[in-house]
């Protein structure tokens, strides 16, 4: 029986690739973007394409999800993929710019999840995949706000996973490394209006590195999307595997996460003897 996917941010990158891989399985796909007109390729392969801005009022998102459920009978897999990078130093980004980043990358995902969960709870099954990033493991120069949004998403994902697991619903964060998509260019990456001269020597080399790395990333988005689809459906190479709370995708992701875990363990061990002196006396 065909599953039904609801995927946000399908105009390019992972959203588009996941939608195509899901359709290749014969599944129903509700593919969304702020402008459905940009989803012509997905419409041609049978995806149901609709316009959705994840920053819309909750009632509008609820109505669109209800329309999808009315069309296909259920939503079996939700992929929260919509998002963008806000680069810049922590002091450089304005309150307005930071709030816009969180609105799309965190609160927008929450809004879509709230709309879908009642249907999954009713049938006691479903999978919710939040597109995280290796940025959710370590804060980095020039991308502190993007990293912080991904950190927030991980906290939400891990909490929700525990809350709904008894109801037959699985929640996972997909954490890709660098894949050769357009995510480091165009409207997917925005810069703050303000620049602080004192920070230029620290930030400019990282900004230049991002520019040079654009379209030179090691990850193949088609291979990444195929693995994601197999993981979320429990098919192919992922048959009989239990989805982890955090699923790394890419050689660079595995390497970086391993390094972070080792560094954090060393820091904890270095300070352990002092940390444990702060409890109340027995």
Q: Could you give the residue numbers annotated as active site?
A: 146
Residue 232's contacts (CB-CB under 8 Å, 6 or more residues apart) are: 77, 79, 127, 129, 172, 243
Q: Counting Cβ atoms within 10 Å, is residue 102 exposed (0-12), middle (13-18) or buried (19+)? A: middle
Beta bridge partners of 171: 128
**How open is the CA angle 161-164-168, to the nearest 5 degrees?**
110
Q: Return the sign of the alpha-carbon dihedral for residues 137, 12, 209, 102.
A: negative
Give how far Cα 275 sits from Cα of 114, 269, 271, Å: 39, 10, 6
Of 8, 130, 173, 7, residue with least CA distance to 76? 7
Phi, psi of 174 (to 5 degrees): -90, 125
Cα gap 66→82, rounded to integer Å: 19
Q: Counting Cβ atoms within 10 Å, is residue 214 exposed (0-12), middle (13-18) or buried (19+)? A: middle
Cα gap 141→259, rounded to integer Å: 17
Cα gap 68→50, rounded to integer Å: 10
Q: Which two tokens stand for residue 43?
A: 């419409």
């Amino acid at each position: 029986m065909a599953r039904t996917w609801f995927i946000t941010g399908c105009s390019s990158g992972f959203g588009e690739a996941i939608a195509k891989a899901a359709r290749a399985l014969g599944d129903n796909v509700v593919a969304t973007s702020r402008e459905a007109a940009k989803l012509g390729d997905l419409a041609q392969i049978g995806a149901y394409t609709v316009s959705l801005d994840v920053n819309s009022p909750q009632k509008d998102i609820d109505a669109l999800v209800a329309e999808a459920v009315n069309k296909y009978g259920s939503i079996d897999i939700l992929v929260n993929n919509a998002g963008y990078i806000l680069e810049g130093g922590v002091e450089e980004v304005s309150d307005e710019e930071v709030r816009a980043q969180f609105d799309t990358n965190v609160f927008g995902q929450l809004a879509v999840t709230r709309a879908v969960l009642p249907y999954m709870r009713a049938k006691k099954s479903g999978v919710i995949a939040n597109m995280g990033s290796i940025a959710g493991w370590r804060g980095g120069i020039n991308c502190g706000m993007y990293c912080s949004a991904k950190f927030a998403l991980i906290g939400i994902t891990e909490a929700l996973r525990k809350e709904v697991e008894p109801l037959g619903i699985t929640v996972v964060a997909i954490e890709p490394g660098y894949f050769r998509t357009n995510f480091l260019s165009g409207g997917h990456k925005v810069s703050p209006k303000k620049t602080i001269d004192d920070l230029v020597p620290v930030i400019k080399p990282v900004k230049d590195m991002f520019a040079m790395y654009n379209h030179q990333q090691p990850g193949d988005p088609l291979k990444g999307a195929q693995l994601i689809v197999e993981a979320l459906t429990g098919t192919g190479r992922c048959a009989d595997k239990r989805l982890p709370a955090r699923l790394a995708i890419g050689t660079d992701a595995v390497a970086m996460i391993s390094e972070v875990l080792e560094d954090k363990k060393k820091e904890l061990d270095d300070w352990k003897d002092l940390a444990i002196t702060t409890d109340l006396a027995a």
